[in-house]
Amino acid sequence: MSGEATASSAGAPRPGGARGFGIDIGGSGIKGAPVDLETGGLAGERVRLATPSPSTPDEVAKTVAEIAGSFGWTGPIGVTVPAVVAHGVTRTAANIDASWIGADAERLLREATGADVTVVNDADAAGYAEARFGAAREHPGVVLVTTLGTGIGTALVVGGRLIPNTELGHIEIGGEDAEHRTSDAARDREGLSWEKWAKRLQRYYRTLENLFWPDLFVVGGGVSRKAEKFLPLLDLRTPIVPAGLRNEAGIVGAALLASERGPRSSERAGSER
Ligand code: BGC
């Protein structure tokens, strides 16, 4: 099972031990904390440092190393980025510095921290945490987690297993990138009332449910704290609920995914020599 992610807590091995460490790279802040892998709660006070500007991989790596170092943490670290991550390489940069495209983020962060780093998409981390400990806890079916923030992030979790990099915030609706009109940043930027924004959300979630037929939608991101303002305005066949873990979901999911991943093949080769 090494390298696979399964959110069912029933009997899943946790080779990382009872504690992990997660770091969430956001547009304005980089936050990190140790995580209790048994409960999904933070196991220490969260540290937040400002995201460097420009937020290039080298500068961000220094901040990540500073946060891990401030806890004296040397075990595996999970780090989220708002980008597609394939085999440790960041492939897109919708809301971060363009220099992340093609960066070997995992190697860079491993070198900066001296720790075993796993880099994951921010919504995938949050979604995985929701499937393990939050609003979709141990859900056996198809769960589509969306994070409404600067962009729209998505995580598809099926029977507890994460299907990474779904990027459904960028589906095209009415000839436009959905996140451009429907993110929480769009609501803010255009000064939309809850009702007006809900019309856009309605079209977005209706499109998603027609394409994926999920059993459950989970809505995360900071605005999910105000879910009662907009979720009741939606008319969907799929149940839709606010996230359970809120702000910490990214940190928790990153720590979980890092602790569950086996050693990299290059490290395995190295240790066998
Ligand atoms: C990015 C995703 C990210 C989401 C939330 C989108 O613009 O393409 O990778 O998960 O924003 O940060």
Q: What is the tens place of the pLDDT at every residue in 162-181?
A: 999 999 999 999 999 999 99
Please name the residue whose Cα sits nearest to atom 4 of ligand 1. Answer: 153
Which helix or strand (DSSP H or E) is residue 32 part of?
Answer: strand 29-36
Q: Is the pLDDT assigned to residue 262 strictly greater than 60?
A: yes
Looking at the chain, the whole-number percentage of residues with pLDDT higher than 70 is: 89
Q: Could you tell me if 82 and 27 lie in one domain?
A: yes
pLDDT at 8: 44
Q: Could you tell me if 59 and 150 lie in one domain?
A: no
| Atom number in ligand 1 closest to CA 84 | 9
Cβ 122 under 6 angstroms from ligand 1: yes
* CA pair distance 234, 149, nearest whole angstrom: 18
Please name the residue whose Cα sits nearest to atom 11 of ligand 1. Answer: 151
Separation of CA 152 and ligand 1 centre (Å): 6
Cβ 94 under 6 angstroms from ligand 1: yes
Residue of 85, 90, 101, 122 to mutate, ligand 1, most atoms within 8 A of C-beta: 122
Domain that holds residue 172: 137-245
How many helices (DSSP H) and strands (DSSP E) are in the chain?
9, 14
Q: Is residue 8 part of a domain?
A: no
pLDDT (tens digit per residue) in 86-124: 999 999 998 889 999 999 999 999 999 999 999 999 999
Query: For residues 44 and 64, is the Cβ–Cβ distance under 8 A?
Result: no
Q: Is the pLDDT assigned to residue 265 strictly greater than 70?
A: no
Q: Could you tell me if 154 and 107 lie in one domain?
A: no
Q: What is the CATH number of the domain that holds 171?
A: 3.30.420.40
Q: Is residue 272 part of a domain?
A: no
Q: Could you tell me if 253 and 236 lie in one domain?
A: no
Q: Could you tell me if 113 and 185 lie in one domain?
A: no
Kindly report the average pLDDT of the chain as a whole number: 91
pLDDT at 247: 81
Q: Is the pLDDT assigned to residue 1 strictly greater than 90?
A: no
Residue of 152, 176, 204 to mutate, ligand 1, most atoms within 8 A of C-beta: 152
Q: Is the pLDDT assigned to residue 15 strictly greater than 50?
A: no
Q: Is 101 exposed, middle or buried (0-12, 13-18, 19+ CB in 10 A)?
A: middle
| Atom number in ligand 1 closest to CA 122 | 10
Sign of CA dihedral 137, 23, 145, 84: negative
Q: Could you tell me if 103 and 88 lie in one domain?
A: yes
**Residue 201: C-alpha distances to residues 165, 178, 232, 247, 263 (Å):** 21, 9, 12, 21, 40
pLDDT (tens digit per residue) in 207-252: 999 999 999 999 999 999 999 999 999 999 999 999 999 789 999 9
Separation of CA 262 and ligand 1 centre (Å): 26
Give the pLDDT band (50/70/90) at residue 145: very high
Domain count, the chain: 2
Q: Could you tell me if 99 and 150 lie in one domain?
A: no
pLDDT at 264: 60
Q: Is the pLDDT assigned to residue 2 strictly greater than 80?
A: no
Q: Is residue 87 part of a domain?
A: yes
Q: At what angle do helices 249-260 and 122-133 cross, to 10 degrees?
A: 90
**DSSP assignment string, 82-131:** SS-EETTEE---SSS-GGGTT--HHHHHHHHHSS-EEEEEHHHHHHHHHH
Q: Is residue 196 part of a domain?
A: yes
Separation of CA 19 and ligand 1 centre (Å): 27
Please name the residue whose Cα sits nearest to atom 10 of ligand 1. Answer: 153
Q: Could you tell me if 175 and 105 lie in one domain?
A: no
**Residue 147: C-alpha distances to residues 158, 182, 212, 214, 220 (Å):** 17, 11, 17, 16, 4
Q: Is residue 13 part of a domain?
A: no
Q: Is residue 71 part of a domain?
A: yes
| Atom number in ligand 1 closest to CA 147 | 5
pLDDT at 263: 62
3-state secondary structure of 28: coil
Q: Is the pLDDT assigned to residue 9 strictly greater than 60?
A: no
pLDDT at 244: 96
pTM, 2 dp: 0.91
Q: Could you tell me if 57 and 119 lie in one domain?
A: yes
Q: Is residue 49 part of a domain?
A: yes
